[in-house]
Structure 1
Amino acid sequence: MCGLVCIVSPEGDLASQELEPALRALHHRGPDGTGSWISSCRRVAMGHTRLAVMDPDGGAQPMHGSDGRLHLVANGEFYGHEVIRASLRRDGHGFSSRSDSEIALHLWARDGAGALPELRGEFAFAIWDQARGELIAARDRFGIKPLFYARHAGRVLLASEVGALFEAGVPRRWDRGALAEHLVLCHPPDGTLFDGVRQVPPGCWLWTDGRDIRIRRYWDLDWPTEDELTKDVDRSGHLAAVRDAVVDAVDVRLRADVPVAHHLSGGLDSGAIVALAARHGAPRTFAVRFDDPHFDEGAAAEATARAVGARHSEVLVDAGSSAGRMGDIVAKGQMIPENAHGIARLLQSEAIRAAGFRVVLAGEGGDEMFAGYPQTQRDLRLSTVPGDVVRDDTVRRRLAASPAGRPLLDIADRMGFLPGFVLDRYLGVGAPIQGLLAPDFAAEVLAAQPCRDMFADPHVQSQLYGRSPFHRGSYLFAKTWLANYLLAAERLDMSCGLEVRLPFLDHRLHDVVRRTPLAWFSGGVDSKPLLRAALRNDLPAVLQAGTKRPFLAPPAVSDDATLSRIREVVDGGALDDLGFFRPRQVRDLLEDVRALPPGRRAGHERVVQVLMGIVGLTDQFALTG
């Protein structure tokens, strides 16, 4: 994993030093080397910061084709690159390194945009075509690796992080409309919270000559229609196919020229990955431990580690270590958090990097792939239990009676039902935050229509039409909350120079799982029965059965020291000039929370985290409203 930045100027007036501020902002993503290149026509400048994982002694970037036509910067990993490299060599392509990134350069030379379906992994890359005078930039199918862009001063700029764009001169402003949409649900897959800053959506690629910008899609989730799901599926054969796909997704991600570590919690997802990795030797595992026994999964993680013969380490996260890190989560993650998970994630990543690792496998994507979330199970019931449709209609009528709930009705009308994660977000953030908003901004939030343009896209309509509520809800979740919030933990990991690989977010695995009959995603008391059944001969007894065990960190608001720090920020006037909130109402909320016993404060966690995230981003980037 690395950092990249590109500037395209149709006027041919670029100077090499223009990349330097952005590259400094991306140094944490690539502490092992920095490279830059500017074309002879001065129309494009490309920069790269490198985390050396494959071919540490070679593979410096930018990379250049032998004929001087194509030039590449890449972030991420391309799996199965050995097979592709062999194919390219048979076609006469010569390689200058063993780096996986170089295959993208040669594939594009041979196949153009037809190269994209051949690439597997988590990646973002850009290629300048000197002959055509155009830049293309592509992002992986699930949006694991970020790729932001903006127009500024007659130029097009791209970078791995928003902060790098700001350092390159892009104005630092909130997008009030996007923030309003975020408080209702989430901004769309091509948007951000910052005015003028966009992102290449997952599974898409960008074309630009410095004047025009075009976005094109090369992949989508393509869930089967309800009619297609009625076809008979051989259960034993399907489970074997799921098992083979999971094993392959893990195995390809174990390949690196540096040691590989593993996240391990008390749950099934990370435990299954570690169990499969143990087929190749004793895995090196790292588990977070909390000093609050209600949240600590350390004993369960240790039991899994013992069962598979892992070499296990623990990372203690207590109230003292958390109290001073809320600002770091916002600054390094460049996002608005909604819980204390980010603090635990950052401390874990720091510990793994300090132990000498640059690569770690993690279990994110398991809940998305195998219907592990409670709200996903609600959508599943709507798809399989006719009576639950009546309950969904009841929820919609109640929302219609509340002004704060009306923005959700537009989503429900377009989706044909109200997805469970949308309702959960409304109850946790959208409704309770209304009373804290400044009147003008509150009106903007009530008028917000999240993802309106996305729903108007004929392609998106074709992806939703004829699908079950479960698949429609999964599609919306993947395009909004997964890519724009959950996977933003990538920025926290990369702030430590740590590459996190996610086997469950693999498009070949998805292609197998998407054909699963809906009834196989639920049943009995076990969570993710499809995954458990597929891996029944691979999992140790401790993972064979169990209910859903979500990874939860102790709420920050439960700690008095953390609340005091938050109150200091508010009393210092941080909210006064933003125009988003009513400072007195925020102070009253904080006093009300502090008056509660620590065990009863969790219901306020998400709103307080959102408040501090907005304050923190404003301060970190010197944003104006």
Structure 2
Amino acid sequence: MSGIIALFSKQAPISTTALKQGLECLKHRAPDQQQFWISPHQKVGLGQTRLSILERMHGEQPVANRDKTLLIVVNGAFYDCERIPGDLTKWGYRLRSDSDSEMALHLYNEFGTQCLHHLRGEFAFVIWDESNQLLFAARDRLGIKPLYYTFYNDTLYLASEVKALFAAGVPAHWDYESFLQADNGVLTGNRTLFANVYQVPPGYFLLASRYGIQLHRYWDFDYPHLTELQFQKSEEYIEKLRDTLDEAVRLRLRGDVPVGCYLSGGLDSSTILGMATSHQSKPIHAFTVAFDDEAYNEEPIAREMAKQAGAHLHVIPVRQSDLAEHFADAIWHSEMLAVNANTVAKFLLSRAVRDAGYQVVLTGDGSDEIFASYGFFEKDMLRYNSEGQDEQTLKNRREELKRNDNPESSTQALKHIQRTLGFVPAWIEAVFKEHIKSRSFYSPAFMAQFAQHDAYRIFLNQIDIQGQLVGREPVHQSLYLWDKTILPNYLLRRLGDGIEMAHSISARLPFLDHKVVEFV
């Protein structure tokens, strides 16, 4: 819903010009208003460019407490906040507004970094704590909202987009190792394509003081150990899941502007549209892309789903020439490699939503991750998690897999994964196959620099294997690894925030509400 930037220097005064230039670079995200604050000692600066969506978020930012010893800038939204004002009043706080940001600030004052366990939503924020001379920055559990940082000339820079760091004066250089990691599909959630520029990983917070910078994890995916697996009755599980997801949808419908829906025709977006319709008195406006290539065109299905929900459907025609024309723009906003034209299609879809007068949409993104719906995970389940399934069906499906299996999967590049995990996740086999194709794009001189480069060893070295993989089902291990790279860097960046906020569109993802994720 906005773009934020922060600068913190332990000694030298920060540059007002740098803060303003970085903020100006984020204007496309939220053009309604730009505001910034610099501390009296000039060691800290906070800025926000804002999209006015919710009345309770209309207060000026940075939001400060009464004595201005705590200040916050927020990108995103907090949900399920109705109980918080009553609790804060009991604890002695006097709210000056019904701003979500003010509530978050008081929760920090009450609980410190543990305030994150009281917050639900899609967010990235920065708090300056004057009393403790501490900067506290955090990113939501799934990484829906981005937060980048770097340290340059004794100054810490944080921003919603990498390009804002460069606009503020940070030198821009490629990180070639990260580039190859991304091309191999295993760029972890703390890296970017740029040298010395990092992400606050999903589910982490950052603390900065005169003693240095620390990163701490406050949430992670927690797949059950083999000894903890419990099977529930289908009817009971479905009912609880429906209630949990429906609550996530309902919470994301609040606001002072109409909320639309992205609709692809798939089960995920159709489910979200159906649930949203049940909470609205007027027809919802849904938006879908119609490709000129019938093999990829889901318009007929989307029309049927919109009709069933009683929604008003907007169809956005996209030709192959449109994809080519806007490819560079989409990549500039995504700040990530693109292996197909999906990024451009989402860019054009978001532009059409803005042109139709909408600022907020619900999406079905994330359902394939939490339900293991991709074909990769079906392969893993067929290979390693087939207990209780029909034997003949398994035999037939396994024969199909053999005919389509990746012949590259036994190469040296994947042997480290095989040795470490005891198997190679199907999705890693698939992205490795794509990397083999893309090698021809690189010059021999470039590839010679990385002759000994093992992308998958580097990837696994950044994973808590003992804590999060050992003792889990193979399909859960596969999902966890996917969650650490593809989800934050590809789905949520290349197809999410960066592309949607190019047109000031705030997307809300009910499937990635952390309560839904934890239930599943």
Provide the TM-score with structure 2 as the length reference.
0.92
Do structure 1's residue 423 and structure 2's residue 391 form an aligned pair?
no
How big is the shift at 1:464?
Answer: 0.7
**What does residue 216 of structure 1 align with?**
216
**What does residue 524 of structure 1 align with?**
none
Equivalent residue letter for 1:77: A
**What does residue 247 of structure 1 align with?**
246
Runs of 4+, deviation exceeding 3 Å: 385-389, 394-400, 443-446, 449-460
CA distance 1:233–1:133, change in 2 (3 Å): same
How big is the shift at 1:454?
Answer: 6.0
Matches within 5 A, 1:24-173: 24-55=24-55, 58-173=58-173
Equivalent residue letter for 1:309: G
**What does residue 519 of structure 2 align with?**
512
Matches within 5 A, 1:108-507: 108-209=108-209, 212-229=212-229, 231-281=230-280, 282-385=283-386, 399-400=409-410, 405-428=411-434, 430-450=435-455, 452=457, 455-456=460-461, 459-488=464-493, 489=495, 490-507=497-514
How big is the shift at 1:250?
Answer: 0.9
CA-to-partner distance for each residue in 1:236-255, whole Å, 9 max, x for gaps? 22221111111111111111
How big is the shift at 1:335?
Answer: 1.5
Equivalent residue letter for 1:297: E
Asked if 2 retains the 8 angstrom alpha-carbon contact of 1:56 and 1:257, the reply is no
CA-to-partner distance for each residue in 1:409-457, whole Å, 9 max, x for gaps? 22333333111111111112x1112233222432445533336566346
SS at match of 1:485: helix
How big is the shift at 1:407?
Answer: 2.8
Asked if 2 retains the 8 angstrom alpha-carbon contact of 1:185 and 1:450, the reply is no
Percent of aligned pairs with the same amino acid: 37
Counterpart-to-counterpart distance in 1, 2:347 and 2:385: 39
Counterpart-to-counterpart distance in 2, 1:94 and 1:70: 15
Asked if 1 retains the 8 angstrom alpha-carbon contact of 2:3 and 2:26, the reply is yes
Asked if 1 retains the 8 angstrom alpha-carbon contact of 2:73 and 2:127, the reply is yes
How big is the shift at 1:396?
Answer: 9.5
Counterpart-to-counterpart distance in 2, 1:414 and 1:335: 28
Counterpart-to-counterpart distance in 2, 1:446 and 1:223: 36
CA-to-partner distance for each residue in 1:230-289, whole Å, 9 max, x for gaps? x34233222211111111111111111211010011110000000011112321111111
Counterpart-to-counterpart distance in 1, 2:210 and 2:46: 14
Indicate the larger mover: 33-42 or 51-60.
Answer: 51-60
SS at match of 2:55: coil
SS at match of 1:258: coil
Counterpart-to-counterpart distance in 2, 1:130 and 1:374: 51
SS at match of 2:260: strand
Counterpart-to-counterpart distance in 1, 2:330 and 2:518: 34
SS at match of 1:335: coil
CA-to-partner distance for each residue in 1:158-198, whole Å, 9 max, x for gaps? 00000001111111111111112222222221111100001
SS at match of 2:254: coil
CA distance 1:286–1:399, change in 2 (3 Å): closer
SS at match of 1:5: strand
Asked if 2 retains the 8 angstrom alpha-carbon contact of 1:382 and 1:469, the reply is no
SS at match of 2:361: strand
Residue segments in structure 1 that go unaligned for 5+ positions in a row: 514-625
Equivalent residue letter for 2:372: A
Counterpart-to-counterpart distance in 2, 1:438 and 1:395: 29
Asked if 2 retains the 8 angstrom alpha-carbon contact of 1:183 and 1:445, the reply is no
Asked if 2 retains the 8 angstrom alpha-carbon contact of 1:128 and 1:135, the reply is yes
Equivalent residue letter for 2:63: M
How big is the shift at 1:40?
Answer: 1.3
How big is the shift at 1:328?
Answer: 0.8
Asked if 1 retains the 8 angstrom alpha-carbon contact of 2:141 and 2:220, the reply is yes
Counterpart-to-counterpart distance in 2, 1:263 and 1:122: 18
Counterpart-to-counterpart distance in 1, 2:458 and 2:61: 37
Equivalent residue letter for 1:421: W
Superposition CA RMSD, Å: 2.2
Counterpart-to-counterpart distance in 1, 2:288 and 2:428: 30
Provide the TM-score with structure 1 as the length reference.
0.77
Residue segments in structure 2 that go unaligned for 5+ positions in a row: 388-394
CA-to-partner distance for each residue in 1:297-324, whole Å, 9 max, x for gaps? 1111111111111111111111232231
Counterpart-to-counterpart distance in 2, 1:13 and 1:179: 34
Equivalent residue letter for 1:212: G
**What does residue 391 of structure 2 align with?**
none
Asked if 2 retains the 8 angstrom alpha-carbon contact of 1:64 and 1:70, the reply is yes
Asked if 2 retains the 8 angstrom alpha-carbon contact of 1:139 and 1:205, the reply is yes
Asked if 1 retains the 8 angstrom alpha-carbon contact of 2:413 and 2:456, the reply is no
Counterpart-to-counterpart distance in 1, 2:451 and 2:246: 46
CA-to-partner distance for each residue in 1:57-76, whole Å, 9 max, x for gaps? 83221111112211101101
Equivalent residue letter for 2:378: Q
SS at match of 1:255: coil
CA distance 1:460–1:142, change in 2 (3 Å): farther
SS at match of 1:81: coil
CA-to-partner distance for each residue in 1:98-120, whole Å, 9 max, x for gaps? 22222211110000011111111
Indicate the larger mover: 458-467 or 471-480.
Answer: 458-467
